Amino acid sequence: MIEQIGTSLIDWSRAQFAMTAIYHWLFVPLTLGLAVVMGIMETIYFRTGDEFWKRTAKFWMKLFGINFAVGVATGLILEFEFGTNWSNYSWFVGDIFGAPLAIEGIVAFFMEATFIAVMFFGWEKVSSKFHLTSTWLTGLGATISAWWILVANAWMQHPVGMAFNPDTVRNEMVDFWAVAFSPVAVSKFFHTVLSGWVLGAIFVIGVSSWYLLKKRDRKFALASIKVAAIFGLTASLLSAFTGDSEGHVVAQHQPMKLAAMEGLYEGHDKAGLVAIGLLNPEKKSYNDGKDAFVFKLEVPWLLSFLANRDIDSYVPGITDLMEGGYPMKDGTIALSAPEKMARGKVAIEALDRYHEATKEGNAAEKQIAAKALSDNMPYFGYGYIKDVNQLVPNVPLTFYAFRLMVILGGYFILFFIVVLFLVYKRDLGQIKWMHWVALLTIPLGYLAGQAGWIVAECGRQPWAIQDLLPVNAAISRLQTGSVKTTFFLFLILFAIMLIAEIMILLKAIKTGPERIEA
């Protein structure tokens, strides 16, 4: 049986995992973005034969390599934490969750490792066509790696393609393709990778603008900005489109997350999307009767359209999801949270009876218990919820993080449009204020990515696996002091790695590309 453990251990384990994930995500999106930028630049070199583009591509490859190395280190630690800090989770769904991680390690990681060596050291040793292929395959390997990691994460958001085995108390994969190509996985992959492309473009423009500020390597800087701005605008527009798609998928499979994203407590037809709003800080519970907002400005009907592609459709709020009673799309009536918790306890008790009957050789009782378990298995995780209020995620954090991500996404589109206008219609090299804007936009690119992950992960709390396993039943039985100690050790280690990477990047940027112009 899965054991529940104290809140202090839960909080520290979650904090350690969150910290590791935050640090890891500082490196992944830039890797994905720079991989495409350097591929485009080497493609231009291959087609034109102009040595300028070769040297330009090599410079961005250098920065890619620095970032890639640190990203690998943090990613490995993140994967190991599933076994060390979340062993109940790993046992319960390891047969499913381990498959995409194994594929990522065996296929994608080895693909990256092979071709990145050719990319860096094969310029004078292989043909230009093979080298170009290696550059693109390095980027493809990084993208495939992201695919399988995001498949694993998407399965936590929407578990599919599995069957519960009461004999082993494990969920086992029955449909690999359902796991690999679930709608959550597909939408999450495109939106996440495109956000990495946006960051890569912002980074290239920002770094290039620094050269313009310093009045050096002008040709290199302007050429890099042109490529990155076109690439970035395309990626940001596609990211907005996939963001809409992901919002629709969230509405279908994680309605509580959508309600938290919108601060929606009372569901209704023709629901509007909150463009600007200030949540009421005095509202502490879904049923305390207090208004959710101090003020808000809505776009009429847009939330109903986002959720169901129908402006007249009903969107349930947090109170509706907790109290139930509203009609579902399949014609059934939604259960309340207490009813789900009761059915979850029935499932847990049925599993206990199943094992007792197995030991006693009581086939009839075993069959009855198996039937009760099967009927109530969709609510198994609710049986571990101690307080109904735990089922409501942190609404302010999710609401404001979502708006920050959307606002920054809109800003990036405007940013790329302005850069393209200035670089083609004006002399961007002389517009100093825009250079500073570009530099200051780099941290905003990282902030947008982190805000997106806050929405994705905090919005589905308290679940480690949506509706199937809450975090209080997923963690390892460890000493809280041990987790605290490793938390601070990792914090120091990651801080050192981040500082080292920034210093190496800054040194490489200060050195600049190989001499291209006087």
pLDDT, tens only, 404-417: 999 999 999 999 99
Q: Specify the pLDDT at position 124.
A: 87
Residue 19 tokens read as 């910290």
Q: Specify the pLDDT at position 477.
A: 85
Q: Is the dihedral of CA 80, 102, 27, 69 positive or negative?
A: positive
| 3-state helix vs strand vs coil in the chain, percent to 5 | 75, 5, 20
CA angle centred on 357, ends 366 and 344, rounded to 5° = 65
Whether residue 517 has pLDDT greater than 60: no
Q: Specify the pLDDT at position 108.
A: 72
Closest CA to 452 of 493, 495, 408: 408
Q: What is the domain partition of the chain in residue ranges?
A: 1-181+481-504
Whether residue 386 has pLDDT greater than 70: yes
pLDDT tens, residue by residue, 438-460: 999 999 999 999 999 999 999 99
6 or 189, greater pLDDT: 189
Distance CA 66, CA 75 (A): 15
Mean pLDDT to the nearest integer, 43-55: 95
Give percent above pLDDT 90 in the chain: 77
pLDDT tens, residue by residue, 63-80: 999 998 888 778 778 888
DSSP string, 442-475: HHHHHHHHHHHHHHHHHTTTTEEETTTEEGGGTS
Longest CA span, the chain: 88
Whether residue 289 has pLDDT greater than 60: yes
Whether residue 480 has pLDDT greater than 90: no
The answer to whether 104 and 146 are in contact (CB under 8 A) is no
113 or 171, greater pLDDT: 171
Q: Specify the pLDDT at position 3.
A: 47
Number of H helices, E strands in the chain: 17, 8
294 or 7, greater pLDDT: 294
pLDDT tens, residue by residue, 279-288: 999 998 998 8
Q: Is the dihedral of CA 334, 336, 342, 344 positive or negative?
A: positive
Q: Specify the pLDDT at position 7.
A: 62
Mean pLDDT to the nearest integer, 241-252: 92
Q: How many C-beta atoms surround the C-beta of residue 372 within 10 A?
A: 18
The mean pLDDT of the chain is: 91
Q: Specify the pLDDT at position 296.
A: 93
- State the Cα torsion 115-120-126-131 to the nearest 10°: 60
Strand partners, 274: 298
Mean pLDDT to the nearest integer, 128-157: 93
pLDDT tens, residue by residue, 339-378: 999 999 999 999 999 999 999 999 999 999 999 999 999 9
Residue 342 tokens read as 């009761």
